A = this chain, B = another copy of it.
Amino acid sequence: MDIEQGNNDKIALSEKCSWFSRCFAKIKSTTIGFLEKIKKIAMDDPRRIAHAIKVGLTLTLVSTLYYVTPLYDGFGESSMWAVLTVVVVMEYTAGGTLCKGLNRVFATVIAGSLGVGAHHIASLCGQKGEAILLGLFVFLLAASATFSRFIPEVKAKYDYGVTIFILTFSLVAVSSYRVDELIQMAHQRISTIAIGVATCLCVSLVVFPVWAGEDLHKMVASNLDKLANFLEGIETECFGEKSNFESLEGKPFLQVHKSVLNSKAMEDTLCNFAKWEPCHGDFSFRHPWKQYQKIGGLIRQCAASMDALSSYLTTFSKTKPIFKADAELLLEIETACREMSSESAKALRELSSAIRSMTVPSLAKCHVSAATSAAENLRTALSNDITVWETIHVAMISSLLAELVNCTKEIAGSVDELAELALFKSTDSVNSAVVKPVSDEEMPQQVTIDISG
Contacts and interface: CB of A to CB of B under 8 A. Distances in A.
Nearest to A348: B408
Given A295-B415, A308-B400, A309-B401, 11 more contacts: A38-B151, A56-B142, A264-B265, A301-B410, A323-B390, A330-B390, A333-B398, A343-B405, A360-B431, A368-B405, A392-B396
Given A368-B412, A427-B362, A407 B56 contact: no
A415 B354 CA distance: 9
Give the interface residue-count category, chain A: 35 or more
A325 B41 CA distance: 61
B51 A400 contact: no
B394 A355 contact: no
A9 interface: no
A326 B387 contact: yes
Main SS class of interface, A: helix
B427 A359 contact: yes
24 contacts: A38-B151, A41-B151, A55-B166, A56-B142, A227-B408, A261-B304, A288-B418, A291-B418, A291-B421, A302-B408, A302-B411, A305-B400, A308-B309, A313-B397, A321-B393, A341-B401, A341-B404, A351-B415, A354-B415, A359-B426, A368-B409, A371-B405, A371-B408, A388-B391
A59 B131 contact: no
Contacts of A8: none
Contacts of A48: 147, 150
A109 interface: no
A389 interface: yes
Contacts of A146: 51-52, 55-56
Nearest to A88: B163
Interface stretch (A22-30, A95-103, A172-180, A441-449): A172-180
Nearest to A343: B405
Interface string A231-250: 10010001000000000000
